[in-house]
Amino acid sequence: MEWELILRCRGGSTASFEPLVRDHQRQALAIAEALLGNADDAADAVQEAFVKAFRALDGLRSGSQFGPWFRTIVRNQCRDRLRVHQPPREPWSSEAVDRKAWSEPSAHGAMESAQLAESVRKALATISSEHREILVLKEIEDMSYAAIAEAMSIPPGTVASRLYHARAALRKTLERRGVAVEGGLR
Amino acid sequence: MTEHPRERLMAYADGELDGEAAAEIQQHLKTCTECGRELSIVRELKGAMKDMQSSQTRDLWSAVNRRLTTPAGWLFVLSGALVWIALAAVRWFRSELTIEWLATTALVTGLVLLLVAIGHEQYRSWKSERYKDVQR
């Protein structure tokens, strides 16, 4: 069904692109917002990615899935935007996060899920782009470590370590903002 | 397992460990409250990021569709204007350029462009019609 739509799009039918946009926009927006830290920028980036994807559909290998191919375009689009408009980062290096940070008791109570998601969205904007990207690949795109290693061109053994540092950096940022993550919600 | 296996705990939380390695972590979690708490935190962060996806409500189709269909109109206008300017330049070099000629050709060019644009739009709508092959 999806491939049939792609073939019609290749023939110039923009209407056949509509189901593909509607099926993939939600995840693409979440990826872009996590990477760019701003809903409006994310919408612009995803919109641009859809336009690019439509024009590049001839390059999609026969029988390939649209989703993973399109999400790569979204991430590249976000990277290009970040190169032009690098958001301000917190002065400390996320690589240097103290491993004890995971074990320190928090002074604040646990937050509701929705509030935590909003806080995480804001905190993501301040950690390094490598950490942000690996968290997006794992948590939003739900990719395996092997697929992440391939997508980021890093050794498979590095994925767990980088995810550890990324989550530690995210949590540290949340704590600096007074948001406690205590593991009580799920 | 005497130290806290933090990176393997990440892999466990992500479902990346096979049976034996997962069992080893589960065994460690029975006695290590620190790692148990850390696992809960990782799961909470994972859930919060998943929630980011479900909160997306924007519909981008209209904007994307506009972007995909607009350029043709501009190409028509641009090509028509270029043809008109080229013809006017030729007449100017021949000292045959008059206000009447400019007004008439501008009107004719505009009308031709309008007809071509309408024809193109009709063709595009027909081609994009998803149900055009369905027997009524």
- B72-95 pLDDT, tens digit per residue, is 667 777 888 888 899 889 888 888
pLDDT band at A159 (very low <50, low <70, confident <90, very high): very high
Q: Tell me how far apart the alpha carbons of residues B9 and B22 are, in angstroms, rounded to a whole number.
A: 9
With beta carbons under 8 A apart, name residues in chain B contacting A160. Answer: 7-8, 10-11, 16
The pLDDT value recorded for residue A180 is 72
Instruction: Provide the percentage of residues in chain A whose pLDDT is more than 90.
Output: 46
With beta carbons under 8 A apart, name residues in chain B contacting A181. Answer: 41, 44-45
A30 contacts B56 by C-beta, under 8 angstroms: yes
pTM over the 0.95 mark: no
A156 contacts B13 by C-beta, under 8 angstroms: no
Q: Closest approach of chain A CAs to the CA of B112, in angstroms?
A: 24
- B14-35 pLDDT, tens digit per residue, is 999 988 999 999 999 999 999 9
CB contact (8 A) between residue A183 and residue B11: no
- Among the partner-chain residues B14, B54, B64, the one whose CB lies closest to the CB of A47 is B64
Mutation for B interface: A167, A170, A173, most B CBs within 10 A: A167
Phi/psi for A91 (5° steps) reads -65, -25
Which of the two residues, A86 and A142, has the higher pLDDT score? Answer: A142
What is the full DSSP assignment across A89-139?
Answer: --SS-GGG--GGGGTSPPSSPPPPHHHHHHHHHHHHTTS-HHHHHHHIIII
B29 touches A: beta carbon within 8 Å: no
- A63-120 pLDDT, tens digit per residue, is 789 999 999 999 999 999 888 776 555 443 444 444 444 444 444 444 467 778 888 8
A136 contacts A147 by C-beta, under 8 angstroms: no
Amino acid at A11: G
B121 touches A: beta carbon within 8 Å: no
Q: Closest approach of chain B CAs to the CA of A83, in angstroms?
A: 24
CB contact (8 A) between residue B52 and residue A34: yes
Nearest to A75 by CA among A13, A8, A144, A136: A136
How many CA atoms are closer than 13 Å to the CA of A58, on its beta-carbon side?
Answer: 3
* Cα pseudo-dihedral A81, A85, A90, A94, rounded to 10: 30
A171 contacts A102 by C-beta, under 8 angstroms: yes
Residues in chain B: 136
B72 touches A: beta carbon within 8 Å: no
CB contact (8 A) between residue A103 and residue B41: no
The pLDDT value recorded for residue B76 is 75
Instruction: Provide the percentage of residues in chain A whose pLDDT is more than 70.
Output: 83
pLDDT band at B133 (very low <50, low <70, confident <90, very high): low
With beta carbons under 8 A apart, name residues in chain B contacting A164. Answer: 6-7, 10
Model ipTM value: 0.73
CB contact (8 A) between residue A140 and residue B124: no
Q: Tell me how far apart the alpha carbons of residues A75 and A28 are, in angstroms, rounded to a whole number.
A: 9
CB contact (8 A) between residue A186 and residue B56: no
Q: Tell me how far apart the alpha carbons of residues A66 and A44 are, in angstroms, rounded to a whole number.
A: 20
Residues in chain A: 186
CB contact (8 A) between residue B42 and residue A182: no
Long-range contacts of A71-74 (CB under 8 A, 24+ apart): A71/A24, A71/A27, A71/A28, A71/A31, A71/A141, A72/A151, A73/A49, A74/A28, A74/A31, A74/A32, A74/A45, A74/A46, A74/A49
